[in-house]
Every structure is written in C-alpha cells, then in structure tokens.
Structure 1
Amino acid sequence: MSVERSICPDIYHPAIARDGLLTRLRIPGGVLNELQCATIAQLLDTIGLAYVQVTNRANLQLRSIDRDLDSGLLTKLTECGLAASQTAIDGIRNVMLSPTAGIDARELIDVRPLAAAWLEYLDNHSELGELSNKFSVGFDGGGSVSILDRPNDISLLAVGEDKFSLYLSMGDRGHRPQPVGVDLTIEECLPMLAAISQCYRQGIKTIGGELRRPPRLRSVIRHFGLTEFGELVRREIAGSSRLIFKNRADRDATQVNEDVHLGVHPQRQSDRYYVGIVLLLGRATGAQVSGLGAIAARYGSGHIRLTPWQNVIVPDVKERDLQKVQELITDLGLVQTATHPSSLLRACAGMTGCQFSATDTQADAIALSEYLAAKFTLNLPLNIHFSGCDKSCAQHERADITLWGTENADRTGGSYRLEIGGVMGECGQETSDLLPPERVPIAIGSLIATYHERRIDARESFSAFINHQTSAQLQELLHVV
C-alpha cells in the first residue's frame, strides 16, 4: 500500500499553498501558557508574519511562510511544548475539549485529566502517526460551552458524574459525530480510545490499495460497517460483551451556541471569572498573543485557552481585577462582545491562499466587519460565512447569511451568490444574480437594516426572523440588497 502524507499539515510537515508554505501548531486542549505565547510572538517576528490564526480545531495556523523552519526554531518550539518531541505523532495532537473545562459551573466532569492521559498515550505510541492528520478526539464535560457539534472523529460526552457517552464520526464531511449506544466509566475511556485508534490503524491497512493519503475514521467504519467495526474494537479491548456499537440517532442534538463564551462569565470557583475575547477571523498579532499571555500571568492562572470558534479565553480572573483586565484587552485592539461585527464572521483562506477559491474571502470579510462596525449597533449575534467555493471549509454548518464565491462568467474575477436561511436569490445587480465583492458591505448592511426594521421585537434573532417569512417575503428580502 502506498500512502501519501496528509494534506493537513503539522509543524514538521508544511503544506504548499498558493501564498507559500502553510503549517499548524497543534495545541492540545487549546491551552497556552505565558512562555508559549511569548515564543509564538518571537516566531512570528523571526519568520516575518504579521499574525497567527486560530483554527476551528483550536490550533494555530501559520501561512504565507517563505521558507522551512530551521532546526533551531523547531527545537525551541519542542522545548516549550508547542511541538511533539516525536515528529511522527505531531500531526495527530488534535485533542479538543471545551475551552471552559474545569471552570464551567454546569460541567458534570472535569475532562482535563482524561485529555492529558490521552495525550500521554499518543506520545508513547508513535505508530499512530500512520493515522490521518485530521484525526481528532473531543472531550465534552457536559457544561454550558459544548463542543459536541464539532466534527471530531471520536467524542466523549459526560452524561453523569462518572459516565461518558461514546460518539463516532460516521456521516459526511463536516457532520457532527453520532452516539453509538455505548456508555463508559472514566476508567474505561482511555482503553476505549486506544482500542478504536488501533483498530482504525489496522483498518487503514486492511482497506489497502493505492491510497493517496490515510483515510478518515469514518471511511474505515463505513468499510467494515459499524457493527463489525465495534466487534473489532471489542476484541481489541479484551472482549467486553456489552460494547456493542449501534447507530443511535442523536435525537437531542441541538445547535450549539458558539457565542456563549464571549464576554465576562462567573466560574465554578468562588470569586473567579473568565473573559471571552473575539479574534477577527481568528487572527492575532504577535503583540496580541504575548500581551494576552502576560495578562493571564499577572491577573489569571498563567494560561489562555483557544476556542474551536477561533476566539480566546482568559480564565481565573478575580472580580477586583476584571475592569483592569478588560481595559488591557481593549488596549490590545480586541473586543469582548458577541454582537461586535468582528465576532459575526467566518471565512476560508480565499483566493490568496487556495487555488479553488474564486474570491478573496478574508479581505472581503474584513471589509464587511469594518463597514458594519461603523454603521450598525447590534443587540443580538448573527453568523455570516464567506466561502470561496462550494467546499465550505471554514464552517460546515449552516450560517444565518452565507456568501458563496463563484467565478464570473467572463473570468474577470469572482463574485458572490447570497444564501439566507437556505434560500438562494438574486442580489445587487439587475442583470445578474451575483454580488460583486465591492457591493457586499452595502448589501449585507441593507439586509441587516431591513431585519432590524421588520422583526417582531428586539429579542427576535435573525434566524427566527427568517424562519417566519413566507417564500415571497424571502424573495423580497433578497431583492432589498
């Protein structure tokens, strides 16, 4: 079997993108201490990058790099824990947990020790480097900030004081994992993760053929079927008869509110608060990263937490220090509210970094953010998604407003088609159903203004407003822009 390395890069194996080399720092659990923040800032300065970008796996992405990182830089990253000491497993350090793990007042189980045990297992099993670099495990403690909707390959959801429900990725690309009818005690979780991972590894070999890169776990499960794959896992885990995988539809699945962590929130610990901070498109300059690390060291517990919604949290702030911390965050040029335009936007790499994109999504999203910040005061959050093609890499779930990049018929550039609540329509031009990038801010501004004017009251969300419109009203709404 011939297997090509994953196109999902790690620090030792950068990918070639349109704008240069692309690499990622895998940050297990999304946690960064002050030294790591300072090291990232120094790294950006050394290689000449203006910013680092938080990804939707709560990792860090570096793009537009013009050369390979030298051995000295790699050693420095390894020594402070920003890279794995074993190059083979750096790519699979996708260990995700809620950014409020251990501090969430509603949390059933603090999943941090379990996540640390899993990371230690990975460090000791370099053979798992044969898995896809996209392989990811999520730990959800059952708190108010859930990650269950994130498309991890394996997820463990706390459903009691000593019980987790097992979820596996079996659907299409980007779909949330589904329950398989297996509950585990805390002690059973690590053996189960190990067994699934080893069976996944063996399944890659069984599928065989001329594979360009390792298949995802969902592909291996589909190859065997869920029941048979569960039987393989049962044998690997020493034959517990109750571990029978069955496809159980997640009837309780709801849309996770990804904005709930922004702003100031009380923790389960007395006199401690966390502050959720918005990063526009996940971007943070070196000064902002090091500045946040310094704030956490002086006023928190010495670390910050990245979120899978491309934002950041400073935890463990005392009430007496909240005002000062918020002022320092503002001084860094960052905002803390879910209704600020910076928090509304998701965008893929765009045409500057991806050959498949028809539009410069990042620049267009930033232009929209600046326009909305100058023109509007929002009282409720909404979600606006820029996708340069139909792959929807930045956000797989549906947005309130989506702008899909498409190449103009005359090949003079790209424009956008507009989707609102799943409805496509004409927008902007009398003779075309495409919206030129320069028209996007005014068009979306008009759409939001119409929503504000016609909604039932100030408490009605954009999605609720769209849902009670008739088809004719939706078409009229699309023509407003």
Structure 2
Amino acid sequence: QCLMDTRPLAAQILDTLQGHPRFHQLSAKFAVQLDGGEALAMLEHHHDLWLSALERDGQGLLAFGLAGCPVDEPLAAVAQDQGHELLVAVLELFLDLARPEQTRMRHLLMDMSREDFLAQLEPRLSRPLLNIGGWRRQASDAGLHIGTYPQAAPGQVYVGAGTPLGRLDPAMLKGAAQLAREYGDASLRLTPWQSLLLPSIAAADAPAATAALEQLGLLCSPQQALAHLIACTGSSGCGKALADTKSDALQLAGLLQRHGRQLDVHLSACPRSCAAAHVAPATLLAVAPGRYDLYLRDATQPGFGTLHARNLSIEAAEALLDARPRSNLDA
C-alpha cells in the first residue's frame, strides 16, 4: 500500500541533519517521521515533525503536522518533491523561534499556535502550502510485521520474522542475511516491533524462506505466544532490574502457548519501562525475583493502567491472564 518510496527522501533528510551545522543545535530527541502510506507502519509515536504520503487528483503529496503523529489531522501538505525544502524550513523556523529551554516542538507550541507557525513558515517556501481538508491517514493494520504479505510489485512478498524477546544473535543475523541473498534482494529491514523483514521474495519461495527462518530460531507466525511478549534486559544485564524478565517471559510464553493464547504482555523489571514506548494491554511489573504486579491498560489511568493484582508468580499471572475474556487481551 505504499504511495512513495521514502528511502531517497529519508537519505536526503539524514544527510541534511548530519551535515547542516545549525541543525546540530537540535535536541537529540527532536524527531522527524516520514511515512510512505504503507499498511505496516508505526503511526502512534509522536514526532516533532511528521510527513505522510497521500495522493490527490493524481499528484503525490506529503501531508504534515507538528508535535503529533500521522493519524492526527494534518496542518497542510506540499508536493512530494518539496518534502526536503519543507523540512529545512520547519527546522530553521523552529530554531529561530524557540528559546533555549524549548527543546521540542510541543514546547514552542505552548507559546504560539500552529496557525501562527504556519503563517511564518509559508513565506520560507518556494510554493504555497496546499489545503487538504478532510484527509486523514488511516491507522495501520496490526500484526503485519510477522508472516508473509504482498508487496506492490506483482508476485513479490516480504516475510516478517520476530526476534525472540528482542534478541537477534549473530547466527540468526548471518542466517537471515544468507536467506535475503538467496531469496530476496539481499537486504534486511528492522522494524519498531523487534522484528526483521526479508523483502522482495517471490511468492513461491516464501514457504522455504519462512521454514529456514524458523530453523534459525526466529518467530514467523503470529500464533506463537512468544511473538506477542516484550521484556526488558532484566537482572541478567541491568543493575536496576528486580527480576530476570527474559527468563520469566520464556516461562510465561510456554504457559500461554499451552493454553492457545496469544496475549500482548510487557514484562518490565522496574518502573522505567525501557522496553516499551507505549502501554501494553497487560504489564507485569517486577517487585522481586520471579514476582510481579499485574496492570491492565486503562486510558483513564496514568502509567501502566489499573493495578489488577499484586506479587504474583509467573504461574499465577498466567492463570489470571488466561481467565480474562479473549476479546480484551488477545492479539
């Protein structure tokens, strides 16, 4: 479903951010998102500037917004060949207007409206901004990072494979590279979901590529419980951790698989939540080795959500999760 190949513009943006001395003043957390309209896309994470591809009257455009994400209502649009110019103008205007303590776009927009920012932005562009009233980016489909799915080119697919709990060891990476050369275009792509993609594979070769990835220990089916769990480094690699989350997650996955459940669960060894940028439907927060508090996501509650039970073993946590209605937690 991609509407443009984002790679050339992304490379141009990266070169500009690295090569333009003034842009080195930007905070390391100042973020730019370029979205090509794909069905597989991370759209919920806020960025200081986001650009999203669309088509209007046969013309390729880039909608854009500030301090938000592509599923928000856009401010305006430019032609795709104007995307780099827009980025430079937005960043230079931000640096002109922001005080030293205003390191992110949202900080600046607390002092001025988006409309005022646009009014000062437009004179810096070679062409007027375009009104695309009524257009909104559709949300992406869940789960498309694991399995086989069609690409735009006829007869070609990509194969997505999850890394077990975010760990990609050298044998996996070397094996995946060999498969990419054998079946695909010799490239690998990493995703925000701790998985990798082998693109440009002939549809007839997808079963063989998938079987080989599984032999390497990668997760190639969304029916695998482990494909839905995330866990931080845990006590085996972090001094702040209260539990061995990696081992506990493997135990939990085995119990869930036995009961035929695929639940999105986050195991966090401390409240910092390093492994998850967004709140999971269920979070197990470590309180001691092998013991966790269970939280269920609740939009009305801060942090991980509503505290459901305290000081649970992995077996007790799985039993409680297994008892939940399937429509509430199943991926």
Q: TM over 0.5: same fold?
A: yes
Determine if contact 1:156/1:166 at 8 Å carries over to the other structure. yes
**Residues of 2 paired with 1:464 and 1:232: CA distance?**
47
1:178-205 deviation per Cα after TM superposition (whole angstroms, max 9, x unaligned): 44421111022111111122233344xx
After TM superposition, list the pairs within 5 Å mapping 1:271-282 onto structure 2.
271-282=155-166
Cα distance change, pair 292–223 in 1 and its aligned pair in 2 (3 A): farther
Q: Give the count of matched residue pairs.
A: 321
1:347-367 deviation per Cα after TM superposition (whole angstroms, max 9, x unaligned): 334456556654443443333
Deviation of 1:151 (Å):
2.9
Matching residue of 1:450: 323
Match of 1:346 among 226, 230, 237: 230
1:382 aligns with 2:263: yes
Matching residue of 2:106: 218
* Percent of paired sites with the same residue: 26
Cα distance change, pair 463–415 in 1 and its aligned pair in 2 (3 A): closer
After TM superposition, list the pairs within 5 Å mapping 1:75-90 onto structure 2.
none
**Residues of 1 paired with 2:173 and 2:95: CA distance?**
36
After TM superposition, list the pairs within 5 Å mapping 1:142-291 onto structure 2.
142-160=37-55, 161-170=59-68, 178-203=72-97, 206-208=98-100, 215-237=103-125, 242=129, 254=139, 256-291=140-175
**Residues of 1 paired with 2:100 and 2:297: CA distance?**
42
What SS class does the counterpart of residue 40 from structure 2 fall into? Answer: coil
Cα distance change, pair 188–269 in 1 and its aligned pair in 2 (3 A): same
Deviation of 1:287 (Å):
1.2
Amino acid paired to 1:416 = Y
What SS class does the counterpart of residue 89 from structure 2 fall into? Answer: helix
1:406-444 deviation per Cα after TM superposition (whole angstroms, max 9, x unaligned): 5x7xxxx684321224263453xxxxx332xxx12x134
Cα distance change, pair 108–462 in 1 and its aligned pair in 2 (3 A): same
Amino acid paired to 1:168 = L
**Residues of 2 paired with 1:301 and 1:363: CA distance?**
35
Determine if contact 1:262/1:338 at 8 Å carries over to the other structure. yes
Determine if contact 2:284/2:294 at 8 Å carries over to the other structure. yes
**Residues of 1 paired with 2:249 and 2:108: CA distance?**
37
Deviation of 1:370 (Å):
4.0
**Residues of 1 paired with 2:136 and 2:189: CA distance?**
31
Q: Which runs of 5+ in 2 are unaligned?
A: 299-304
Deviation of 1:208 (Å):
2.7
Cα distance change, pair 426–262 in 1 and its aligned pair in 2 (3 A): closer
Matching residue of 2:302: none
Matching residue of 1:401: 282
What SS class does the counterpart of residue 309 from structure 1 fall into? Answer: coil
Amino acid paired to 2:311 = L
Amino acid paired to 1:116 = A
Amino acid paired to 1:434 = N
Determine if contact 2:2/2:38 at 8 Å carries over to the other structure. yes
Determine if contact 1:148/1:155 at 8 Å carries over to the other structure. no
Match of 2:252 among 337, 351, 368: 368
Cα distance change, pair 376–325 in 1 and its aligned pair in 2 (3 A): same
Determine if contact 2:39/2:141 at 8 Å carries over to the other structure. no
Deviation of 1:252 (Å):
6.8
1:4-55 deviation per Cα after TM superposition (whole angstroms, max 9, x unaligned): xxxxxxxxxxxxxxxxxxxxxxxxxxxxxxxxxxxxxxxxxxxxxxxxxxxx
Deviation of 1:224 (Å):
4.2
1:142-200 deviation per Cα after TM superposition (whole angstroms, max 9, x unaligned): 23212222333322112215122102225xxxx87744421111022111111122233
Deviating above 6 A after TM superposition, structure 1's stretches of 4 or more consecutive aligned residues are 248-253
* Segment drifting more, 275-284 vs 339-348: 339-348
**Residues of 1 paired with 2:201 and 2:323: CA distance?**
40
1:50-77 deviation per Cα after TM superposition (whole angstroms, max 9, x unaligned): xxxxxxxxxxxxxxxxxxxxxxxxxxxx
Cα distance change, pair 294–434 in 1 and its aligned pair in 2 (3 A): same
